[in-house]
Structure 1
Amino acid sequence: MAGMNLGYSLGLLACLAVPLTAAAADGIGHPAKQGENPIVRDKFTADPAPLVVGDTLYLYVGHDQAQGDEMFNMREWLVYSTKDMKHWKAHAPIMRVADFKWAKQDAWASQAIRKNGKYWFYAAVEHDDAHPGKAIAVAVADSPTGPFVDAKGSALVTNEMTPKGTHSWEDIDPTVFTDEDGTTWIAWGNRQCYIAKLKPNMIEIDGPITEITPPHFEEGPWLHKRGKLYYLTYASLDRTTQRDEHVSYATASSLAGPWTYRGLLTGPGKNSFTIHPGIAEFQGRWYIFLHNASLAIGDQNGAVGRRSVTVEYLDYNADGTMKPVIQTDDGVSVPGQR
């Protein structure tokens, strides 16, 4: 979940299905246009993960519920849907961290994927004392809006499975991708980035876990493919020159690598230490979802633990590299360049 290091490192230092309308205020009384950022304005949301199913894009997010100076208080996952990228429908929460009986807290970054007629949901949580540290859970549903239930009854990945890591919260931020041959891969990590195949049952790792950490990798990996190129996009942090997370990416001709670092894609989110990319092609356009901390709701301003999901157009150069993304307040309320 983009936000892990601040909670554990810098932190040591310091619904009903109803439409979201253009009339929703931006937290300071200004009416919002449809498609403007942030795209959800009545709740604090983070770590966006899009999934396209037919004519609908579903967006899975974590729900920031921090009060006052709290760091992260996340207990449930939400989903929104759209058919035009401007009008968003809120659905009931799809899961709570308490639904994983072996987990004790932290409904952190997630991603859902469709395979074999079902919807599989992978999420980062804090394991109970049986396996201390962060872990990755997997749930399943017959619908993209749930209800989701624990598919395994135990963690898919625990901290013991990545013993070369440097800290107990490295096993977070899962991203899942099914290749053209039908094989589904999962990547995840904080400071170290790991990748592995999933068995056809979607609830077990198939074979070795491989480290593929690209330059300045911090957390929040996202896998996608366009043409013949595979993309690994992630929250990055050059600790010698940067205070807040940026987004960088690497490309490869195979998910097994090697991965070629391509540099920065976008800068930090406004007022936010963390950032978390999610990428999808929808109705002939590519989009990148991010988060910042620009939203105010009532007397609560954006903060480390009160973030807001945004979306921007994503474009590519002729050689397959991605064009730099400028984060805007307008979002997709205005036409994007092609």
Structure 2
Amino acid sequence: MTIGYWRAAIAVVAATISTTALGQVRTGASPGSNPIIRDKFTADPAPLVVGDRLYLYVGHDEAQRDEMFNMREWLVYSTTDMKHWTDHGPIMKVADFKWAKKDAWASQTIEKNGKFWFYAAVEHDDTHPGKAIAVAVSETPTGPFVDARGSALITNEMTPKGTHSWEDIDPTVFTDDDGTTWIAWGNRQCYIARLKPNMIEIDGPITEITPPHFEEGPWLHKRGALYYLTYASLDRSKHRDEKVSYSTAPSLKGPWTWRGELTGSGKYSFTIHPGIVEYKNNWYLFLHNATLAIGDLNGSIGRRAVTVEHLRYNADGTMKPVVQTDAGVSAPPPR
């Protein structure tokens, strides 16, 4: 989204939502209820299952007062029951990428070849202006992670047909059944490319696969024979806030079929970001909203809170619409 759009949206919310409403998160809520992290503002959730533990990688929102975004590091939490979360602290700071100058935006970590590969969106320095995709590596899911290239994996010059300098954000990484790993990313335009086996180079062409109303935050996963591209969507002719939509395909090369909306907007939030995972034979959809208040800071565009909901599928492979709740996974899945 444009900066002007976000500033206008903030003004609307400030005029219509009271401080009391923004701070309504219950302090004594049941384990597993939303938001799942309550001592920090977190956004852009990316789950990863390793053995019997689920790890959740998030951005750390540190905006003060009327700031929009102030994100300098990435955090990781883990659970074995989806209700109690262990804080493992920061795994990287944007300053750890010496060629980047700011903005620890959305990320995803995957496991391959006995290592953990972390892909994240940052603002490149003036040698390659615009947003870029970084890659880091670690021996463990909780780090320490180190820059795996010493340079950006993807820069704005590599997607010259894009409409703006912040289109190269929000990486999602997925390893197919044949062992090939793919990366998709984008804002307004959605791109996909194959990675080389070393995980730090693009292998072949970058292809555009932009689905209807695509805004940002793509997430790739597979269930059965279907591939899913889930993303933050925005019909600019009708709505102000992002929702979550998805498409399916018989392969990562397409053709992609749009399936419509999966869930509505995050409460009090203009952005939303899906992360989908199967864990202990159940499927989950991670999102974020802006309902959390910490001290005298209320939720806002730069102070978001990660949530999780049960995810279910129809017999034909389509996903059942998800209603965002306060109860989250503290309640049994809906029938």
TM-score by length of 2: 0.94
Deviations 1:158-213 (A, max 9, x none): 00000000000000000000000000000000000000000000000000000000
| 2:126 equivalent to 1:133 | no
Counterpart-to-counterpart distance in 1, 2:259 and 2:26: 40
Structure 1 residue 29 displacement after superposition = 6.2
User: Which residues of structure 1 form unaligned runs of 5+?
Assistant: 15-25
Distance in 1, matches of 2:69 and 2:318, equals 34
Partner of 1:160: 157
The equivalent of 1:278 in structure 2 is 275
Residue 113 of structure 2 is aligned to residue 116 of structure 1? yes
Distance 1:187 1:9 in 2: 25
- 1:10 offset after TM fit, Å? 2.9
- Does structure 2 retain, via aligned residues, the 8 Å contact 1:6–1:273? no
Contact 1:57–1:282 (CA under 8 A) maintained in structure 2: yes
1:36 to 1:237, Cα distance in 2 relative to 1, 3 A? same
Report the counterpart of residue 317 of structure 1 in structure 2. Answer: 314
Deviation at 1:243, TM superposition (A): 1.0
C-alpha spacing 1:8/1:49, structure 2 compared with 1 (3 Å): farther
Match of 1:11 in 2: 7
The aligned residue for residue 31 of structure 2 is: 34
Q: Is 1:197 matched with 2:207?
A: no
Q: 1:157 to 1:28 in 2, by over 3 A?
A: closer
How many angstroms apart in 2 are the aligned matches of 1:196 and 1:136? 13
Residue of structure 2 in register with 1:71 after alignment:
68
Residue 59 (1) aligns with residue 56 (2): yes
Match of 2:325 in 1: 328
The answer to whether the Cα contact below 8 Å between 2:284 and 2:311 also exists between their aligned partners in 1 is yes
Give 1:12 deviation, angstroms.
Answer: 7.6
State the Cα distance separating 1:121 from its structure 2 match.
0.1
Superposed displacement of residue 11, structure 1: 3.4
The SS at the match of 2:322 is: coil
Counterpart secondary structure, 2:323: coil
- Cα pair 1:27 1:41 within 8 Å, conserved: no
Structure 2 partner of 1:206: 203
Aligned to 1:20: none
1:37 maps to a residue whose letter is N
1:303-314 aligned within 5 A: 303-314=300-311
Question: Which residue pairs with 1:96 in the alignment?
Answer: 93
Aligned position for 1:236: 233
CA displacement at 1:32 relative to structure 2: 2.0
Q: TM-score, normalised by structure 1?
A: 0.94
Unaligned 5+ segments in structure 2 are 12-22
Query: What is the CA–CA distance in structure 2 between the aligned matches of 1:27 and 1:102, rounded to whole Å?
Result: 41
Tell whether the 8 Å contact from 1:235 to 1:275 is kept in structure 2 after alignment.
yes
Q: How many residues align?
A: 323
Q: Distance in 1 between matches of 2:234 and 2:193?
A: 24
* Identity across matched positions, percent: 79
Deviation readout 1:2-60 (Å, 9 max, x if unpaired): xxx1546433886xxxxxxxxxxx87663121000000000000000000001000000
Tell me, yes or no, if the aligned pair for 2:24 and 2:291 is still in contact at 8 Å. no
Deviations 1:50-72 (A, max 9, x none): 00001000000000000000000
